[in-house]
Structure 1
């Protein structure tokens, strides 16, 4: 976060001192409680499956809640490494789309800073950013706004996740943390269902997951993700095909 933005007098202003940084923080505030609940549940799940050192390492290095939750049951079940990697890769394929759509905004930045942006990127930050800046026209306020949103998102995830890791051994399994995690995910999902394409993709994913439930190693998750991605791409292309050339 050491890359400044140009000020009105030709100098540089640190992102956290730019007014857009505070705007990014403010717009993420209403979403932070759901992220915190999800992070807490994930932290408890990680420490029970991996132990404290590996759970802390995974939380800080991976920083991908849905991929972590998808990989943990496979790791606990002793699934082959390629299955764990393939599942995490499929879960995170959406970030390829995110990065492609962010390219017009941030492609001019140095490689090191783009790598930092990639680490902190999250689903809801993408949604909030694109909602505020729908046109790919770079401006001085976009980078501070991005950092404001991801800074709050990272803290809202990591602090509860680490708390769950540290306290997870004292939480009884019968408390139904899996169900609580599902509720947290549903709350976050509802903020992403903003148009017909996402609703249809979510419905197709749910049907595919149920239809493929009998597959071993929870591969029905991979099937659901693939079905959702395919349907989402079809829904994005469908209006283009209907328009006359």
Structure 2
């Protein structure tokens, strides 16, 4: 058996592909709600249908999209938009470094393709499925099964939100619904004391710096959370590893 699939079994029919998709099934409702809200938000923020579709398909990072949209709508400098998106997505550096221990043997083109589909909760599911850090034949099918469902669960509602945004009344309060969906997904990532402490510090910093212009309180919160996370990892290294 190769690292992609058996010679006689297509990737999508591999048992681990199906298991990867199954492990993501329980959270697809939250992902879909978040995608729908983001699709509507892109149109409501002034982006046209074309740019919104491009952003959904190319950026494919809901938290950074929602963080960047108010900045784009307010005419914030481009460096602020880029810095915000970069800081919001810094967590993927950690995810990728961990995944490299499993997929580092693959060709660079394959790893680049896999990096586009990488997502927070796929990382959580993968680490729970494969707590031992060593390559195994079933890991690639499992990864693709999870990210395939995650990508579809995001993109289909996002595209629907883009095309139906003009028919969604503003008073429906979709912005609040998006916050709830994002909060639900974020809570799934708080798996130990270190992550809970970092999250609490981020929330406190965001509120304390709320008065800053251009929503720079987001950057302050991220910087505070990263600093606290590094401090906690150094102080309590035995607790820095997630649940298996």
Shorter-chain TM range is: over 0.9
Contact 2:3 2:138 in 1 (8 A): no
| Unmatched 5+ stretches in structure 2 | 239-244
Query: Could you say which residue in structure 2 is the equivalent of 1:226?
Result: 223
Q: How does 1:192-231 map to 2 (within 5 A)?
A: 192-231=189-228
Q: Does 1:31 align with 2:27?
A: yes
Query: Could you say which residue in structure 2 is the equivalent of 1:111?
Result: 108
CA offsets, 1:154-198, max 9 Å, x none?
000000000000000111222211111111111111211111011
| Unmatched 5+ stretches in structure 1 | none
After TM superposition, give the deviation of residue 230 of structure 1 in Å. Answer: 1.3
Q: Distance in 1 between matches of 2:143 and 2:13?
A: 13
Question: How many residue pairs align between the two structures?
Answer: 237
CA offsets, 1:101-127, max 9 Å, x none?
111100111111111110000000001
Q: Distance in 1 between matches of 2:165 and 2:98?
A: 38
Query: Could you say which residue in structure 2 is the equivalent of 1:53?
Result: 50
Q: How does 1:1-245 map to 2 (within 5 A)?
A: 5=4, 7=6, 11=7, 13-49=9-45, 50-240=47-237
CA offsets, 1:175-232, max 9 Å, x none?
2111111111111112111110111111000000000000000010111111111111
Q: Distance in 2 between matches of 1:165 and 1:240?
A: 44
Q: Which runs of 4+ in 1 moved over 3 A?
A: 11-14
RMSD of aligned residue pairs (Cα, Å): 1.6
After TM superposition, give the deviation of residue 239 of structure 1 in Å. Answer: 2.3
Contact 1:15 1:143 in 2 (8 A): no
Match of 2:236, SS state, is: helix
Contact 1:43 1:162 in 2 (8 A): yes
Q: Distance in 1 between matches of 2:101 and 2:3?
A: 19
Contact 1:5 1:13 in 2 (8 A): no
TM-score (ref. length: structure 2): 0.93
Q: Distance in 2 between matches of 1:172 and 1:5?
A: 46
Cα 1:158/1:195, change in 2 over 3 Å: same
Contact 1:4 1:15 in 2 (8 A): no
Contact 1:40 1:160 in 2 (8 A): yes
Q: Distance in 1 between matches of 2:197 and 2:125?
A: 21
Q: Distance in 2 between matches of 1:71 and 1:31?
A: 24
